[in-house]
Amino acid sequence: MMLWRLLRTVMLLFAGAVAGFAGAAAMLRGWLPSRGDATSDELALVTVFDGLELESRSTAFRGGSILAWFGGVAIDLSGVTLAPGAELDVRTAFGGVSIKVPPTWRIDATATALLGGIDVQQPDIEDPDAPTLVLRAQSLMGGVAIRR
């Protein structure tokens, strides 16, 4: 009998946690809607318990922000022309972000990870005039990957 009570209590706690996360996700989606599409020069992408893929074709990409909370974002910037001073803020909590950039770009990255990981591939670029993307990334139990 005692085992049944313990099991029932655990199941009720789990159901409450799931309902709480779902409610929080719905509120976050309402407060922080995604903005931007494949031709936008500035993005504000938000995923909460969801996924998003975007292949940008921007002609003067200025950057923006990406938030992945229990979700994932895959963005391809390999066909983008980078505007001077472009900055991208990336935040993950229990989620992941993958960003593909051209091999000719410099990435000036500032990254902080807590129980997660951030991987920025940095090839040797000798061109002093190479386009530079300023990346600020924070990850809590998630991951951010910049690949070429």
pLDDT, tens digit (0-9, with 9 covering 90-100), for 28-48: 666 667 788 888 999 999 988
Position 20 confidence tier, pLDDT thresholds 50, 70, 90: low
Under a CB-based contact definition with an 8 Å cutoff, are residues 73 and 66 in contact?
A: yes
Beta strands in the chain (DSSP E): 42-48, 51-55, 61-69, 72-76, 82-93, 96-100, 106-114, 117-120, 132-140, 143-147
Q: What pTM does this model have?
A: 0.77
pLDDT surpasses 90 at 19: no
Confidence of residue 82 (pLDDT cuts 50, 70, 90): very high
- Is the predicted pLDDT of residue 80 greater than 90, yes or no? yes
